[in-house]
Chains A and B, each alone.
Chain A
Amino acid sequence: MDRFETQTYDVLVVGAGGAGLRAAIEAAEQGVSVAVVCKSLLGKAHTVMAEGGVAAALATTDARDSWKVHFRDTMRGGKLLNDWRMAQLLAVEAPARVRELEAWGALFDRTPDGRILQRNFGGHQYPRLAHVGDRTGLEMIRTLQDKTVQAPRIDVLMESTVARLLTGDGRITGALAYRRETGRFLLLRTKAAVLATGGIGRAYKINSNSWEYTGDGHALAYDAGADLIGMEFVQFHPTGMVWPLSVRGILVTEGVRGEGGVLKNSRGERFMFRYIPEMFRRDFADTEEEADRWVAEVVAGRKAEARRPPELLTRDVVARAITQEVREGRGSPHGGAFLDIASRRKPEEIRKKLPSMYQQFLELADVDITREPMEVGPTTHYMMGGVKVDPETQAATVPGLFAAGEVAGGLHGANRLGGNSLSDLLVFGRRAGLGAATYARAVTSEPRVDAGRVDAIAAELLAPFERRAGESPYAVQDALQDMMGTYVGIARSADDLQGALAGIEQLRARAARAGVDGNRQYNPGWHTALDLRNLLTVSEAVTRAALARRESRGAHTRVEYPDSDPQLGRVNVVVRREGDAMTVREEPIPPVPDELRQILEGKD
């Protein structure tokens, strides 16, 4: 251990997406020393991929909007399984967080009177997403990145991976990381750690996520003994690219539908009218005429009086609808649906409002979206489940551990609304930074780490080099992705889930035999071998939680239990490590207080 590069901080932030950077900025402003450790270069985190916008009830585009409506939309979108306090904080604080970005230099698209323009999105009753064309995430991350590098007291350790958290006396004392560039270990002593590592999409073959999304934070927290909740809720975004093969899964922003795009099957039918759930029936148009009137009103910049088109139903509903159309033989040639904006908006409007989509389809699929429809289908996109946190401070159940953004659970319940992830990053990134700094200041002893434990972890991390003849780690990851897509995808059955558990055990054995070539210097094969551990942990957690939830709700569909069960609507499925075993139990979710219940029932 003594030969490792060692650094000491008050707060260690793992991940440099929106949540990590916002947490770091806040912690540093509290006067503590901060390190941000990230797997890629700064500014490349997955936030950069966010397209549609950041949801905040600014009410600049439609004055009828307010935090209460945002709260209600978020809870209803999450099928009321959300942590109500987190949903409330999100709705109340998001506007201030967006304005703060503007004060730091971000430039959102404007209304004619010069205020922040807001866009319509699935599940949001009013236009609510502040945006920059279809590259909102880039605007956010660049703004936060520039703020971070000029802040005092923040060190950014790029291209470094945290392999394990270290604990002492039941609290966080540090982390062992490795620098990807050199392969050398980096021992970080810290009083508090904020996990901001994003999601788990790389556990599935068809996904919209980068290589980084291997469930690191989920697995680090689990290993450290923290509770994970809602792991059965994996969001399948309804519109990923389906063709050509090399781009399968890449995201097509919901903004296409927000700008008036419609979904059609191979018979040319706008099938979404047939899939409006009872809960939303009174809020959505039931004829094409009314849906088209809504688009006309929105395009003209008028306040929409018509009800919204059913293409803007929540993602879980739209993803299931496309899957069913395909299953019943009405899919597009490559097994998806047609998403048509070309016949709805003028070519120059499409290029202005959806420039990245235009480029992406033209260059990668030879499709000109101003002239022809896109082929789209569901893609693994987002993890609703994650580390159980205190809504006010984002503290996990292990002292000194905090989590924010996608890796934290609770806020989105059974389904996340588009646009809520970006506000999540800002609102709860800031709260986590504040919570961690406050905690760190109260810790008076210097963080101590167990040298024997550190050496043992280091040896484990280097083991793949001793198995040069072993199987390729890429092949193991590939097999896991195939299996999760097949058995733990959109529609789940007990048999499939049991099969997946057996499969995970076999893959774990294969992972233990996987070997790598070359040396420790910038070796992606080695990195992949190490990522397998996290992927297997989160895959098991998703599968076990999915088995435990014997109902269908939001993003989680059990074929044997097609309906929601009111009893299960009051509990979270909690996953925790006990020794070497993964345990699953149910835990009641805090009941919604009366004054907020009034809002949910539309009486406010």
Chain B
Amino acid sequence: METVLRIFRGDGTTGAFRDYTVPLHEGMVVLDAVHWVQAHQASDLACRWNCKAGRCGSCSAEVNGKPRLMCMTRMDHFPPGEAITLAPMKAFPVMKDLVCDVSWNYGVNKRVPAFQPRPPEPDGTWRMQQVDIDRVQEFRKCIECFLCQDVCHVLRDHDRKDRFAGPRFLVRLAGLEMHPLDVASRTAHLKEEAGIGFCNITKCCTEVCPESIHITDNAIIPLKERVVDDFYDPLRRLWRRLRGTS
């Protein structure tokens, strides 16, 4: 048994899809097929990977047009006999083959206002209930594969990287905002710098998340509510005006 992988080969300026025939074996994943091509047909085929177990979020690509982790995508997921197309994520500039330049994300992360814990209890530690951290642990499952960024139309189709942080960093901000120990407010950051208003809750990010984080429902919508409370609530606005704070 064998199948054809149609892989994008090229860089930021030129490129084309090329076909590679690979042998199939039981349980094989797309990343195995890419490794086979590297070892036997194209030693310079560029692709990122690390853990090969869905933990590190390195091997993101578009498999038959859908953003996926190659290490967690089984070859037998696709109909036999049909070529499987592999392309780099579309929302970021292509560096080479399946590797794209994701450095913008690291810049966004750097500007997120840092964790600010409340003072610890007299014994120097903190008490927290499991139910209170369950919510935040969902956000902290994120493996930074950037598939949500890739599929988000604000970034993918409108390229508003200048104004919008994208679902990944709204999840990160939610993890800080809802952290039981954190005392900082990030609503101004969410409104201005992270551009949360750009999200119109189409939930595409949630659909592609390999960690099944409910990005839109559990992270973005509650954050939008906090921003609305702080900046657009008429009673609060009046209160702020009366107190002379802006």
A473 and B47 CA atoms in complex are apart in Å by 17
A524/B54 in contact, CB under 8 A? no
Q: Beta-carbon contacts of B37-81 to A below 8 Å, as 1s and 0s?
A: 011101111111111111111100000000000001010000000
A506 at the interface (CB under 8 A from B): no
Chain A interface size band reads: 35 or more
With a cutoff of 8 Å between Cβ atoms, the chain B residues found around residue A486 in the complex are none
A99 at the interface (CB under 8 A from B): yes
A142 and B141 CA atoms in complex are apart in Å by 10
A125 at the interface (CB under 8 A from B): no
**A-B contact sample (13 more), CB < 8 A, given A43-B144, A523-B44:** A46-B50, A49-B55, A110-B133, A139-B140, A142-B142, A146-B109, A146-B114, A244-B28, A246-B32, A517-B42, A522-B97, A524-B45, A525-B38
B202 at the interface (CB under 8 A from A): no
Given the interface contacts A107-B133, A142-B140, A364-B29, does A522 sit within 8 Å of B46 by beta carbon? Answer: yes
A365 and B26 CA atoms in complex are apart in Å by 9
6 A-B pairs with CB atoms under 8 Å apart are A146-B112, A244-B27, A246-B28, A517-B43, A521-B46, A521-B95
A49 and B49 CA atoms in complex are apart in Å by 13
Chain B interface size band reads: 35 or more
B38/A110 in contact, CB under 8 A? no
CB distance from A116 to the nearest CB of B (A): 8
Given the interface contacts A113-B127, A135-B55, A363-B74, does A146 sit within 8 Å of B115 by beta carbon? Answer: yes
Of A44, A114, A150, A475, which one neighbours B57 at CB under 8 angstroms?
A44
B126 at the interface (CB under 8 A from A): yes
A498 at the interface (CB under 8 A from B): no
B129/A110 in contact, CB under 8 A? yes
B54/A363 in contact, CB under 8 A? yes
B128 at the interface (CB under 8 A from A): yes
With a cutoff of 8 Å between Cβ atoms, the chain B residues found around residue A107 in the complex are 128, 133, 136-137, 140, 179
Given the interface contacts A40-B48, A149-B109, A363-B72, does A522 sit within 8 Å of B28 by beta carbon? Answer: no
A524/B46 in contact, CB under 8 A? yes
The chain A residue sitting closest to B38, CB to CB, is A524
The chain B residue sitting closest to A182, CB to CB, is B95
Residues of B154-204 whose CB lies within 8 A of A: 176, 179, 181-182
A246/B29 in contact, CB under 8 A? yes
B127/A115 in contact, CB under 8 A? yes
A234 and B201 CA atoms in complex are apart in Å by 50
B50/A40 in contact, CB under 8 A? yes
With a cutoff of 8 Å between Cβ atoms, the chain A residues found around residue B140 in the complex are 107, 132, 138-139, 142
The chain A residue sitting closest to B103, CB to CB, is A158
Given the interface contacts A110-B128, A210-B51, does A105 sit within 8 Å of B179 by beta carbon? Answer: yes
Q: Beta-carbon contacts of A342-377 to B below 8 Å, as 1s and 0s?
A: 000000000000001001100111100000000000
A245/B26 in contact, CB under 8 A? yes
A516 at the interface (CB under 8 A from B): yes
A48 and B137 CA atoms in complex are apart in Å by 16
CB distance from A66 to the nearest CB of B (A): 17
A41 and B115 CA atoms in complex are apart in Å by 22
A44/B58 in contact, CB under 8 A? yes
B207 at the interface (CB under 8 A from A): no
CB distance from A401 to the nearest CB of B (A): 26
CB distance from B102 to the nearest CB of A (A): 7
Q: Which of B46, B47, B103, B136 has the most CB of A within 10 A?
A: B46
With a cutoff of 8 Å between Cβ atoms, the chain B residues found around residue A103 in the complex are 117, 120
A455 and B128 CA atoms in complex are apart in Å by 57
CB distance from B76 to the nearest CB of A (A): 10
CB distance from A369 to the nearest CB of B (A): 15
A426 at the interface (CB under 8 A from B): no
The chain A residue sitting closest to B129, CB to CB, is A114
Of A356, A364, A523, which one neighbours B55 at CB under 8 angstroms?
A356
With a cutoff of 8 Å between Cβ atoms, the chain A residues found around residue B129 in the complex are 110, 114
Residues of B18-35 whose CB lies within 8 A of A: 25-29, 32
Of B11, B27, B125, B142, which one neighbours A247 at CB under 8 angstroms?
B27
CB distance from B147 to the nearest CB of A (A): 14
A105/B127 in contact, CB under 8 A? no
With a cutoff of 8 Å between Cβ atoms, the chain B residues found around residue A522 in the complex are 46, 95-97, 99
A5 at the interface (CB under 8 A from B): no
CB distance from A96 to the nearest CB of B (A): 9
B72/A518 in contact, CB under 8 A? no
B44/A105 in contact, CB under 8 A? no
A103 and B179 CA atoms in complex are apart in Å by 12
A551 at the interface (CB under 8 A from B): no
Given the interface contacts A210-B51, A516-B43, does A521 sit within 8 Å of B11 by beta carbon? Answer: yes
CB distance from B186 to the nearest CB of A (A): 13
With a cutoff of 8 Å between Cβ atoms, the chain B residues found around residue A245 in the complex are 25-28
The chain A residue sitting closest to B36, CB to CB, is A474
A526 at the interface (CB under 8 A from B): yes
With a cutoff of 8 Å between Cβ atoms, the chain B residues found around residue A138 in the complex are 55, 140-141, 143
With a cutoff of 8 Å between Cβ atoms, the chain B residues found around residue A99 in the complex are 124-125
Residues of A478-494 whose CB lies within 8 A of B: 478
CB distance from A181 to the nearest CB of B (A): 6
Q: Beta-carbon contacts of A85-118 to B below 8 Å, as 1s and 0s?
A: 0000000000000010011110101100111110
With a cutoff of 8 Å between Cβ atoms, the chain B residues found around residue A109 in the complex are 130, 133
The chain B residue sitting closest to A113, CB to CB, is B127
A250 at the interface (CB under 8 A from B): yes
Of A40, A105, A149, A364, which one neighbours B106 at CB under 8 angstroms?
A149
6 tightest Cβ-Cβ pairs between the two chains A and B: A244-B27, A525-B43, A518-B44, A114-B127, A105-B115, A474-B39
With a cutoff of 8 Å between Cβ atoms, the chain A residues found around residue B28 in the complex are 244-246
CB distance from A244 to the nearest CB of B (A): 3
Given the interface contacts A105-B117, A243-B27, does A516 sit within 8 Å of B44 by beta carbon? Answer: yes
Of A49, A104, A246, A364, which one neighbours B51 at CB under 8 angstroms?
A49
CB distance from B226 to the nearest CB of A (A): 19
Given the interface contacts A109-B130, A522-B96, A522-B97, does A365 sit within 8 Å of B27 by beta carbon? Answer: yes
A74 at the interface (CB under 8 A from B): no
